[in-house]
Amino acid sequence: MAENMNSELNMIGSLLPLFPCITFDVEYAGTLHRSSAATRIAPSKQYALVKKNVDAVPIVMLGITLSNEYGNLPLTADGEGRLFQLAWEVTFSDFDPRRDRHAPESVTFLRSQGVCLDKARARGLSKWVR
């Protein structure tokens, strides 16, 4: 999406009136901070723990899905008229496992799912792009 970010954001904006429900899926390179409590922790402490993890590791990927109140996704057609559902996946260039803290098993998992971190660093979107 880095090459065509503006056009994709314009498309998302134009679809929002018909598909106002937005789902985000965010991928980070693991959980570094965990609770030492054996039982459930208070929501405010859970939030602080999640925030600490998010702040500690750069974002790797962001998935965006739009739907309407019935759960239907927007459709588009390819050049041959075949319909398919729209969803967006943004890969970010900021994470480097040689430099950034991460959970090794999470990086292994991301790679097993087809995420090429070298390609992401070369062609991904920087978190600083506006």
Q: For the chain, what are the domain ranges?
A: 5-123
Distance CA 124, CA 117 (A): 9
Query: What's the fold here for domain 5-123?
Result: Nucleotidyltransferase; domain 5 (3.30.420)
- Check residue 129 and give its pLDDT: 67
CA distances from 90 to 18, 34, 55, 124, 125 (A): 22, 27, 19, 8, 7
pTM of the predicted protein model: 0.81
Q: What is the pLDDT of residues 27-85, one digit of tens each?
A: 999 989 888 876 788 999 999 999 999 999 899 999 999 999 999 999 999 999 999 99
Helix ranges, the chain (H): 5-15, 43-56, 104-112, 117-123
So what's the pLDDT on residue 126?
86
Q: Note the pLDDT tens digit of each residue in 92-109.
A: 999 999 999 999 999 999
Q: Cα(84)–Cα(70) distance, rounded to whole angstroms?
A: 17
- For residue 66, list its beta bridge partners: 22
